[in-house]
Amino acid sequence: MNARAASNDGTELTQFSCGVCPAYQVNMCQAAAAAAWSAGRPAPLQLQQSTYSVPPRKIICREQDLYDAVPVICSGWAASIVMLPDGRRQILSFLLPGDLVSSALLFEPVKSCMVEAITVVSYRTYRRAELKALLFAKPDLMDRLASTWVAEKARCDQLIVDLGRRTAEERIARLVFNLMDRLTQRGMMKPGDTTVEFPLRQHHIADAVGLTSVHVSKVITDFRRRGLMAIDDRELRLLNVDDLRRVAFSRH
Amino acid sequence: MNARAASNDGTELTQFSCGVCPAYQVNMCQAAAAAAWSAGRPAPLQLQQSTYSVPPRKIICREQDLYDAVPVICSGWAASIVMLPDGRRQILSFLLPGDLVSSALLFEPVKSCMVEAITVVSYRTYRRAELKALLFAKPDLMDRLASTWVAEKARCDQLIVDLGRRTAEERIARLVFNLMDRLTQRGMMKPGDTTVEFPLRQHHIADAVGLTSVHVSKVITDFRRRGLMAIDDRELRLLNVDDLRRVAFSRH
DNA sequence: CGCTTCATTGATCAATCTCAACTCGCGTGG
DNA sequence: CCACGCGAGTTGAGATTGATCAATGAAGCG
């Protein structure tokens, strides 16, 4: 499904059809594409046709890259990360197919964060100005934007509560449920499923929930020992959903 | 400047003139008022004329209240708070004059948070539907919204990094700088000022930065001992801005 | 005057970090 | 094909940060 044109730094130019994207009704991306088509103009978004593909661990963009470009993940998992000069890092959010890096990016460039690929990632970049114009031309697009924004803010607030007031166990369990929700939204997982592909390394989890990867290892080992969940071979297995949910939501 | 009509629960209906609001160009509120006037319709936003006033520690609204109403702070300090069933609480943000509780509220009701007055607070509530209509009628209002939203998101991301990856000292120092920035934006503090009115109790600080009020006390006492800053009698005094800034931003 | 909130302080405890060592699998270059 | 280095996960010992518990005093307020 992808036609590739390799370059020297691991980044490839690829063709990627939106019909394949699992985030069909979830986010801005599809709506933008649809609106662009229906607008009938020959090529309102010229960047739309070419997407890039990068290998795991590669940086997709740094903050300065976001001056004009608005990247959207087409396939794979990525993370938007804030790095402190002394090496500490915090993951603001994991990016799944269909996700904008941040909906704030539609309006303003700067953000002191970068985006890093976790799996092989293909992504597409729009030009802010074009996307913005399209946005104002199509009011239903604005609705779509509003709802992804509200969802983004809600997750943001949740994370603040988690980091500020919850224990390591709670944070990790909640992260897992959060990700599963988002995966099922996208059809990358069925509601009853007990296993999913799960490409996160423990250090990703650590950076997302504000812990050390050492401590994440201990908690996850403990989860496995207690028969709650296990992560092996890039696969998450739920062993006892109810008890795990109790860990995640007991104190609400 | 305010005409009052007291009721039994501490909430008062008051008149409040926007000309007094320190957040003149900062946020949505003014823009909305201006747009409503210039629209020339007799009373496009009927709620606009009446504002409420509540004493410190009173809850302005719970989540169910936000189903239809969109509150805006007119004067005083408030906090939007998430409470966990076991009593833990996390402050998502402090609300200053001109602040919407959350710009997401313009689009959707639910949020698992409540708003609590810190000082005497006067606020005004709009109806979501009316505000939304006005928003789509006036495109420049949308720009205003976009920029407050981007700022809101940026502060949100900052808080995530603070809670996830910074020490108690850093968090508290950064909170202070953050608040001072917002106060100067609103003209409630001059750039060179070394003292400000500062109504936060230590437990507010604790709930905002994810610590215990006991520990906040220890850190602040230490700041005072080291000649960095002091908080007495609802007043913040900066004793050594440079060193304090170093504590807040040393590791970025 | 008595109650509540707030701030402070000390002693002790618990959660998490730091450091270090070890294993395993994988890819690469000799 | 093998040695090597690297990234990843695990484990244990010990150090640190911040929480918990408890007592005290000051201030505000009905």
What b/e string do you get for B115-128 counting C-beta neighbours within 10 Å, with b at 16 or more? bbbbbebbbbbbeb
Phi-psi region of A116 (alpha: psi -120 to 50; beta: other; left: phi over 0): beta
Give the distance from residue A160's alpha carbon to the nearest chain B alpha carbon, in angstroms. 6
Substitution target in A88, A91, A141, A150 with the highest count of B β-carbons within 10 Å is A150
H helix count then E strand count, chain A: 7, 12
Per residue in B55-113, pLDDT tens?
999 999 888 777 788 888 989 999 999 999 999 999 999 999 988 888 888 888 877 89
pTM equals 0.91
User: Among all residues of chain B, which has the CA nearest to that of A143?
Assistant: B107
The answer to whether the CB atoms of A149 and B104 lie below 8 A apart is yes
Hey, CA dihedral for B105, B57, B154, B149, is it positive or negative? positive
Any idea which nucleotide's C1' is nearest the CA of A88?
Answer: C17
Give the separation between CA B219 and CA B95, rounded to whole angstroms: 24
Give the separation between CA B85 and CA A45, rounded to whole angstroms: 48
Q: Select the more confidently predicted residue: B181 or B131.
A: B181
Q: What is residue B126's predicted lDDT score, i.e. its pLDDT?
A: 83
Tell me what percent of the residues of chain B surpass a pLDDT of 90: 53
Q: What is residue A35's predicted lDDT score, i.e. its pLDDT?
A: 60
In this structure, which amino acid lies at residue B138?
K
Give the separation between CA B6 and CA B13, rounded to whole angstroms: 7
**Arithmetic mean of pLDDT over chain B:** 84
DSSP designation for A7 = -
Q: Are A236 and A177 in contact (CB under 8 A)?
A: no
A-B contacts (CB, under 8 Å) = 105
pLDDT < 70 positions in chain A: 1-50, 251-252
Per residue in A157-176, pLDDT tens?
999 999 999 999 999 999 99
